[in-house]
Homo-oligomer: A and B are copies of this chain.
Amino acid sequence: MKNIKLTVQYNGKNYPGWQSQPGTLGIEGEIERAYFTLFSEKIKIHGSGRTDSGVHALGQVCNFHTERDLDPVRLPKALNCKLPKDVSVVDAEEVAPDFHSRYHAKGKCYRYLMYNSLYRNPVMSGISYQVKFNLDFEKMRSEMEKLKGRHDFSTFMSAKSSVKTTTREIYDIRLEQRENIIVLEIEGSGFLYNMVRIIVGTLVDIGRGRITDSMEEIIASKDRGKAGHTAPAWGLYLKEVYY
């Protein structure tokens, strides 16, 4: 029995998310199907976590067990031949039998891509969030610094969620801007449901002057209503999972 870890990229546009839904395959289902097509073996893919419908990944991680004496080196190319063009396996390696991509994840890095212009960009649309407002990047940077560290992030959680604890640690958060392209990257121990998208929406609302509360106040309020809008799924990328 081998335990294989895969690193996967995908464009989430045409999927219900990482997880399969009744009648529709998610990314995990596509990989299971591609594998079955190749080897006639049913595997169960365990992802590092779900991504929502429309969310992309540059480095989602998953693992599965197989009875086959598989050479992981050839696996990405073989799977990619059977996978739809919007899913790509970019790495495969054998890992310890007890490795689990979700339970052993120590943290994650998300990237959020924005395009800052009054007018849509036909190349960036669908893979970035078009922000039409002038943004005060200095203000956004100074407020976002306060997100770093260990906090109760319940302000930045969608109501749908039920979790044991809403405390998470943000290791780092970076905002880069060049021409009209804005890239925000955020690394943390873990993220609540919609947390990254609500943080981005809040920073945009701060940047355009719609929110004037300080980030300390917003965090301390534990009130979703104090945070900004939920930025759309199509700007979000799961960039990396740390182990």
A interface residues, Cβ below 8 angstroms from B: 9-11, 56, 58, 76-77, 80, 85-90, 117-123, 125, 127, 237
Contacts and interface: CB of A to CB of B under 8 A. Distances in A.
* Copies of the protein in its oligomer: 2
Contacts of A76: 118-119
A123 B11 contact: yes
Contacts of A87: 122
A82 to B, nearest CB: 13
A122 B89 contact: no
A180 to B, nearest CB: 9
Contact of A127 (B9, B77, B123): B123
Contacts of A11: 122-123
A56 B88 contact: no
Contacts of A127: 123
A118 to B, nearest CB: 8
B85 A122 contact: yes
B123 A80 contact: no
Nearest to A127: B123
A122 B10 contact: yes
Contacts of A90: 117-119
Contact of A123 (B58, B119, B121, B125): B58
B58 A9 contact: no
A193 to B, nearest CB: 23
12 contacts: A9-B122, A10-B122, A11-B123, A58-B121, A76-B118, A80-B119, A85-B122, A86-B122, A87-B122, A88-B120, A88-B122, A89-B119
A123 B13 CA distance: 10
Nearest to A237: B123
A52 B91 CA distance: 35
B85 A123 contact: no
A120 B86 CA distance: 9
